[in-house]
């Protein structure tokens, strides 16, 4: 009786099981071929290396899940309920890891659209620094004072990003105040002379020196030279120092804040 029942089960499910094993073996080999082709296609594109490997692995896992469902259906497993269980599990995992998934999605978008690359000097989330690495979940910055800052990619992708490196040049904005009694034309000529002597300052766009404001204790002059991104801080510091020296040599004073105080004596 048991032998007969066993033979019936073997005759019923044996061919299905053998066919499912064959499909599984062939399917896994086909998936490997597809992954290799996907990696080669990604290498020809401009995608980041980390993203290339990740997308190839993600494609492999998705194809393996589909293959497993197909093989399970061939054996006789009810795939409808199985897919429903997978969907419910995926939803639960997604809710539990929604912050992590947001960072993951942000990392993928950053690697695809490239608002910045490694080495760029950026500002985001109130932090400023050079991009040290771009990972799937976070971006690592190195600040000018050598601090490491880790920014979650989800927050970065959903906030403002200022990239100071992309254009290759930056404008240096400096404000210098001179006395109300100073000759403004001469003051501007002295400052412009400082800018024209500096080879690091670009001729195009031309530097700008203009009166910007009549302040409380000084006439404010804006100084706006252009330079390369790499030379920005050196040019800024040197221009401030050299303008101070040049104005002193020309006898033009840079006043500091002052007030006129009037005292009144009221007799009772």
User: Domain locations in the chain?
Assistant: 16-96, 115-163, 169-249
Fold designation for 115-163: SH3 type barrels. (2.30.30)
pLDDT digits (tens, 9 = 90+) for 88-130: 666 665 555 456 778 888 888 888 888 998 889 999 999 999 9
pLDDT band at 53; cut points 50, 70, 90? low
Q: Is 224 exposed, middle or buried, given 0-12, 13-18 or 19+ CB atoms closer than 10 A?
A: middle
Taking the C-alpha atoms of residue 70 and residue 85, their distance in angstroms, rounded to an integer, is 15
CATH architecture entry for 169-249? 2-Layer Sandwich (3.30)
CA trace torsion 102, 106, 107, 108 (10° rounding):
100
pTM above 0.75, yes or no: no
Q: Angle formed by the axes of helices 49-75 and 79-96, to 10°?
A: 150
Fold designation for 16-96: Helix Hairpins (1.10.287)
The two structure tokens encoding residue 212: 């910007």
Among 53-57, 138-142, 251-255, the least confident range: 53-57
């Amino acid at each position: 009786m048991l032998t007969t029942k066993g033979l019936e089960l073997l005759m019923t499910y044996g061919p299905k099981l053998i066919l499912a094993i064959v499909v599984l073996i062939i399917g896994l080999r086909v998936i490997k071929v597809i992954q290799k082709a996907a990696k080669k296609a990604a290498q020809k594109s401009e995608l980041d290396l980390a993203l290339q490997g990740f997308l190839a692995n993600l494609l492999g896992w998705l194809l393996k899940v589909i293959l497993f469902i197909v093989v399970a259906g061939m054996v006789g497993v009810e795939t409808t309920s199985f897919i429903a269980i997978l969907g419910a599990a995926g939803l639960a995992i997604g809710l539990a890891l929604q912050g992590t998934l947001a960072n993951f999605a942000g990392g993928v978008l950053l690697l695809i659209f490239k608002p910045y690359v490694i080495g760029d000097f950026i500002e985001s989330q109130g932090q400023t620094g050079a991009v040290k690495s771009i990972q799937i979940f976070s971006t690592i910055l190195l600040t000018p004072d050598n601090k490491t800052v880790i920014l979650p990619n989800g927050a970065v992708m959903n906030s403002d990003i200022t990239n100071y490196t992309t254009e290759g040049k930056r404008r240096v904005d400096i404000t210098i105040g001179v006395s109300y009694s100073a000759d403004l034309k001469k003051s501007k000529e002295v400052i412009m002379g400082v800018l024209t002597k500096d080879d690091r300052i670009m001729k195009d766009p031309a530097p700008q020196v203009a009166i910007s404001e009549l302040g409380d204790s000084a006439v404010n002059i804006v100084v706006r030279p252009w330079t390369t991104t790499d030379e920005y801080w050196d040019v800024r510091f040197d221009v401030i120092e050299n303008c101070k020296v040049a104005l002193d040599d020309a006898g033009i004073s840079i006043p500091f804040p002052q007030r006129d105080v009037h005292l009144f004596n009221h007799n009772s």
